[in-house]
Amino acid sequence: MITTNSTDVKNNFGRYLDASYREPVEVTKSGRRVAMLLSAEEYDRLTALEDAYWGERALAARAGGFMGPEESMKILTRGTHEKVDEDI
């Protein structure tokens, strides 16, 4: 991974854009990590992984069942002094 500062990226954007096709470019500002420059292909790959993860979580939640409207309303209208997990 390439690491550079924001001023260098600003002054040499084309060079870092080309580099991002091969590997991520970490951008720092005042010594702190502030951004990553990724190829569109890598971004699409990461987005697909995230979508698959949340899809699996949704399927698992669906398989576990749902809380009915009465139970939901009871939790939503309960006073803040009670613990949420008492009726679950």
**pLDDT at 29 > cutoff 60:** yes
Q: How confident is the model at residue 22 (pLDDT cuts 50, 70, 90)?
A: very high
CA distance 57 to 84: 22
Query: In terms of domains, do 47 and 74 share one?
Result: yes
Query: In terms of domains, do 34 and 48 share one?
Result: no
Residue pointed to by tokens 């096709």:
21
**pLDDT at 87 > cutoff 90:** no
Average pLDDT over the chain, rounded to whole?
Answer: 90
Query: In terms of domains, do 69 and 47 share one?
Result: yes
Distances (CA, A) of 4 to 8, 9, 34, 43: 7, 7, 11, 20
Q: How confident is the model at residue 76 (pLDDT cuts 50, 70, 90)?
A: confident
Span 41-53, mean pLDDT?
Answer: 97
Query: In terms of domains, do 32 and 50 share one?
Result: no
pTM > 0.85: no
Range of the domain at 69: 41-79
Can you spell out the DSSP letters for 15-54?
A: HHHHHHTTS-EEEEETTEEEEEE--HHHHHHHHHHHHHHH
Residues 20 and 39 sit within 8 Å (Cβ to Cβ)? yes
